[in-house]
Structure 1
Amino acid sequence: MPIRSVAWWARQLHDDEGSAAIEATIIVPCLIMFVCLAIAGGRIVTSGSKIDAAAQDAAREASIHRTVASAQSAAQAAAAESLNDQGMRCASISVHVDTGGLSVPVGQVGTVTVTVTCTVNLSDLLLPVVPGDKTLTSTATSVVDEYRQR
């Protein structure tokens, strides 16, 4: 058996061979999880703004109708159309319309309030820390013209 020098043993102890694979197996899953969390956060933020816009569209549409039934159906249709136009797909959608402002006397200001609730699907991100669904709610109010016929 040959006698090894101290320099040879030092080289063997500080050899980097194979350490890149170990670093990659530790870092790559963490990076993938970070990217997926960023995508989930972005999806929630953009979905929230799209639901805000849908609630505003629905409130405005409901405020220009004269009857409660037509205001409610118009608000439902406007919210669905707004979400569809923006490419938003909700697992479930709920539109609640408060039409109390349609019954105030002429000359007084009334308001119509619409609340849109949408469940956004996040299960396609395959992250254990992210829930499968996130329910987002937005409320918007629109003024009813005080001098229009009711």
Structure 2
Amino acid sequence: MPCRACWSPGFRRDEGSAAIEAAIVLPALIMFLCMAIAGGRMVISGAKIDSAAEAAAREASIHRTAAAAHGAAQSAASESLADQGITCASTSVNINTGGLSVPVGQVGTVTVTVTCTVNLADLLLPGLPGAKTLTSTATSVVDQFRQRGA
């Protein structure tokens, strides 16, 4: 049996309160979801850029000349990013091949830095930049007993 005191003139019905609550909570939930997606995209992209830098450094370290190492590192970084499905608004690959010029018998290293600008504009989150530049550096050891090129 319904409560007669609940329907007295002094009490109001709460029929529209669910819509108002949804209107208040829904934008906050959408912003939280967009922030989680942006954070996930940056973490995953960072890991993929790390992998591309490692592949480029490894590829550069097995070549005998600096010119061949530069070409191989550029190619390896581009292929790694493409294979992993990451699209960079801009990409740069910097290679330090100083380790290829050390004398045979000494340990040398090749260092590669990959910089990628990840697009975040499609998330439409206020206050979030349209793009974020991520950088990763990897070093690979050159075989100390392998002959080096001139």
Q: Does residue 4 of structure 2 align to residue 8 of structure 1?
A: no
Q: How does 1:8-87 map to 2 (within 5 A)?
A: 8-12=8-12, 15-87=13-85
The equivalent residue for 1:106 is: 104
SS at 1:77 equivalent: helix
Deviations 1:73-128 (A, max 9, x none): 10000000000000000000000000000000000000000000000000000011
Q: Does residue 110 of structure 2 align to residue 147 of structure 1?
A: no
Q: Which runs of 5+ in 1 are unaligned?
A: none
User: Percentage identity across aligned positions?
Assistant: 72
CA–CA separation in structure 1 for the residues paired with 2:6 and 2:49: 70
The equivalent residue for 2:95 is: 97
How far 1:6 moved relative to its partner? 9.6
SS at 2:85 equivalent: coil
CA–CA separation in structure 2 for the residues paired with 1:131 and 1:6: 52
Residue-pair matches, total: 144
CA–CA separation in structure 1 for the residues paired with 2:112 and 2:79: 15
CA–CA separation in structure 1 for the residues paired with 2:131 and 2:7: 60
TM-score (normalised: structure 1)? 0.93
Q: Which runs of 5+ in 2 are unaligned?
A: none
How far 1:17 moved relative to its partner? 1.4
**Residue type of the alignment partner of 1:118:** C
Deviations 1:3-47 (A, max 9, x none): xx99612332xx211111111111111101100000000000000
CA–CA separation in structure 2 for the residues paired with 1:42 and 1:138: 17
SS at 1:9 equivalent: coil
TM-score (normalised: structure 2)? 0.93
Runs of 4+ aligned residues of structure 1 deviating over 6 Å after TM superposition are none
**Residue type of the alignment partner of 1:36:** C
